[in-house]
A and B are shown apart, each in its own frame.
Chain A
Amino acid sequence: MSDVERAVSRVLLLGGSLAVVLMLAGLVTLQVRAARTAHPLDVAHVVENREAGRSIDVFVSLPQLARALGRRPPDPVAIVTAGIVLLLATPGAALVVALIGFVRVRERGYAGICAALLAALVCGFLLNVAG
């Protein structure tokens, strides 16, 4: 296995795992808080349709998410969403690492391919979530 492959593999696993830990921490906190109130979460109902889904504040932009994460105590849904964003960004992070790796070993062709893919990916993502 080359250094580039090793680095990309680590980023994918680390990014995916960290994202899942954040999501799980947020969901458990949400469940615990809901259990303490008179309004349990009722997951099966929440996901039935969009109207029911909006009973939980779903974050749809990065500025909105950053504001919610800045509050104390942090909103559990914001923590889950931070995990989701981290997961969605992980393939991009892997591309950055691949780009650096290919530049280091002077494989210009693949460095160029990584840069082109990264540009397409970042544009696509930011156009929809920059808010």
Chain B
Amino acid sequence: MSDVVFLITLLGAAAGAGVLGAILGLGGGILLVPILTLFFGVSLPYAMGASIVSVIATSCGAAAGHLTSGLANIRLGLFLALFTVTGALAGASLVGIVPPRALQALFGLALGYSAFTTIRQLHVEVTESLTTDPLAQRFALEGVYHDPALGRDVAYRAVHVRAGAAVMFGAGLLSGLLGIGSGAFKVLAMDTFMRLPMKVSTATSNFMIGLTAAASAGVYFGRGDIHPVIATPVALGVLVGSYGGTRLIGRLRNTTVRKLFLPIVIYLAVSMLLRGLGVLK
């Protein structure tokens, strides 16, 4: 394959990952790392480095678009990022102390439960009757966005903030301990626990993943894992794709986004459980 064909194909794959990342609130690592290693023959360290670039580029493109459309909630993102970053720092310091397999099995089960809950509320467009959470009131964890798919404004307010924050801390812990992204956990914490609209959850996750990834990006840069010839087409493709994805999500219903998200949760639950049980390496 010539250099030009290789780079253009990679650009296309990255753009696709960017579109999906912007809709599902993921950094694209879950999609991009297998694509890079299996189809492009990229070594795992460089694929992981490209994944970090992809997460930050997705966050830049998608969060910029989502903040403009009102889907991403900056206060919610900052409030929850505090727990994710604290968890990540705690996780990094627990490497070698806490057995990662036990934690993976635990999170596999938690994701399995989340998948079950997601299936149960698969057809719930927006949770209407909400109780009042004092923390949500104090930190203004609420908002209104215009939903073109429903043709009306949707008001929302977070509930079960403590539970959501605990899941965020756990997601950060897992990120720090295992060096994996945690976009899916962030979305689930907001959608399943805090009962926020799915589109607000994925859009806010897009804002948060950039902050979490930036905290660990120095590690990959310092190791030389962010290779220039891979990072460039990935960043360009993902940035353009994710910004385009923010235009697409407005036309989708919350239920559609949840249906697209479900296979990712099931895949993560099964793979994490199997790794935790030692079946997969």
Contacts and interface: CB of A to CB of B under 8 A. Distances in A.
* A and B assemble together: yes
B60 A13 contact: yes
A47 B221 contact: no
A131 B232 CA distance: 23
Contact of A24 (B210, B224, B236): B236
A61 B223 CA distance: 9
Nearest to B43: A49
B57 interface: yes
Contacts, number: 193
Interface residues of A, number: 66
Q: Which of A42, A47, A61, A117 has the most CB of B within 10 A?
A: A47
Nearest to B4: A31
Given A80-B232, A87-B57, A125-B217, 5 more contacts: A1-B68, A20-B239, A84-B226, A95-B211, A128-B221
B227 A46 contact: yes
A13 B78 contact: no
B99 interface: no
7 cross-chain pairs, A with B, having the tightest CB-CB distances, nearest first: A16-B60, A128-B218, A128-B222, A13-B64, A80-B228, A9-B67, A91-B210
Interface string A83-97: 111011111101100
A19 B30 CA distance: 23
Which secondary structure dominates chain A's binding surface?
A: helix
A80 B41 contact: no
A26 B228 CA distance: 9
A74 B224 CA distance: 20
Contacts of B233: 27
A119 to B, nearest CB: 10
B40 interface: yes
B1 A56 contact: no
A121 B221 contact: no
Interface of A: 1-2, 4-6, 8-10, 12-13, 15-17, 19-20, 23-24, 26-27, 30-31, 40-44, 46-50, 53-54, 56, 58, 60-61, 77, 80-81, 83-85, 87-92, 94-95, 98, 109-110, 113-114, 116-117, 120-121, 124-129
B228 A81 contact: yes
Contacts of B124: none
A43 B85 contact: no
A41 B229 contact: yes
Nearest to A34: B3
B214 A12 contact: no
Contacts of A54: 224
Given A5-B67, A8-B74, A113-B78, A23 B46 contact: no
Contact of B229 (A1, A43, A83, A121): A43
Nearest to B66: A9
A129 B41 CA distance: 28
Contacts of B109: none
A49 B214 CA distance: 25
